[in-house]
């Protein structure tokens, strides 16, 4: 399965996919393109180092619909079959999501449906929960509301702040996202009634 990745920042989850591929852990997945929406996104340098083509589309210079139109054109050109959002900090239009329905993966640093949005660590700490974590999920028309594929719980420590909690959760993001990609590429994910079922190996 041909995967394109979209990222906005440092690209550590994108690097996790590159590393998993190098270890032979993504046998059915090919990383064919990276799209970044910020000129200073460090993910672009990771793509160059790994020999993966990348493109920059300036999200500040155009409306959301125009950005998505250009991104979809690039995805069609490289024959992408699925999309991974790896720290991509921009909402996608319903038209984009429909073009890749149940083929857009995202990693979110909380145990969804708890604490969606851009401030998950801050919100978890403010709520006083004893554990948070991360979720790999399909993207739908809402904000972090799509069907959950995999989750990993991580304890919240008494002296945690947003930075320390984020640092402890991040290694689990780096495990969950490649695993979700592997399962999708293997045809082992089915969505029924808004719930993901992981199918047995063929």
The pair phi, psi for residue 85, each rounded to 5°, is -95, 110
Instruction: Give the pairing of strands 131-138 and 104-108.
Output: antiparallel
Please enumerate in sequence order all residues whose Cβ is within 8 A of that of 159, keeping only pairs 6 or more positions apart, or say none: none
79 annotated active-site: no
User: What are 154's strand-pairing partners?
Assistant: 132
Q: Which two tokens stand for residue 44?
A: 């672009």
How far apart are alpha carbons 4 and 92 in whole angstroms?
Answer: 15
**Is 95 exposed, middle or buried, given 0-12, 13-18 or 19+ CB atoms closer than 10 A?**
exposed
Which one of the listed residues 79, 108, 121, 137 is annotated catalytic? 108
How far apart are alpha carbons 146 and 151 in whole angstroms?
Answer: 13
Tracing tokens 């808004």 back to the chain, one arrives at 194
Residues marked active site are found at 108
């Amino acid at each position: 399965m041909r995967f394109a990745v979209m990222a906005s920042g440092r690209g550590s989850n994108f690097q996790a996919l590159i590393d998993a591929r190098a270890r032979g852990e993504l046998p059915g997945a090919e990383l064919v393109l990276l799209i970044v929406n910020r000129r200073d996104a460090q993910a672009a340098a990771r793509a160059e180092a790994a020999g993966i083509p990348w493109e920059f589309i300036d999200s500040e210079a155009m409306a959301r619909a125009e950005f998505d139109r250009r991104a979809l054109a690039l995805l069609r050109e490289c024959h992408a079959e699925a999309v991974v959002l790896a720290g991509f900090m921009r909402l996608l239009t319903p038209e984009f999501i429909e073009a890749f329905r149940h083929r857009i993966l995202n990693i979110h640093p909380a145990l969804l449906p708890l604490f969606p949005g851009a401030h998950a660590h801050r919100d978890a700490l403010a709520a006083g929960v004893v554990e948070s974590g991360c979720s790999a999920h399909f993207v739908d028309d809402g904000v972090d509301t799509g069907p959950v594929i995999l989750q990993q719980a991580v304890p919240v420590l008494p002296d945690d702040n947003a930075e320390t909690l984020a640092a402890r959760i991040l290694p689990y993001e780096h495990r969950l996202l490649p695993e979700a990609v592997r399962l999708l590429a293997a045809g082992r994910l089915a969505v029924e009634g808004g719930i993901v079922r992981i199918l047995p190996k063929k």
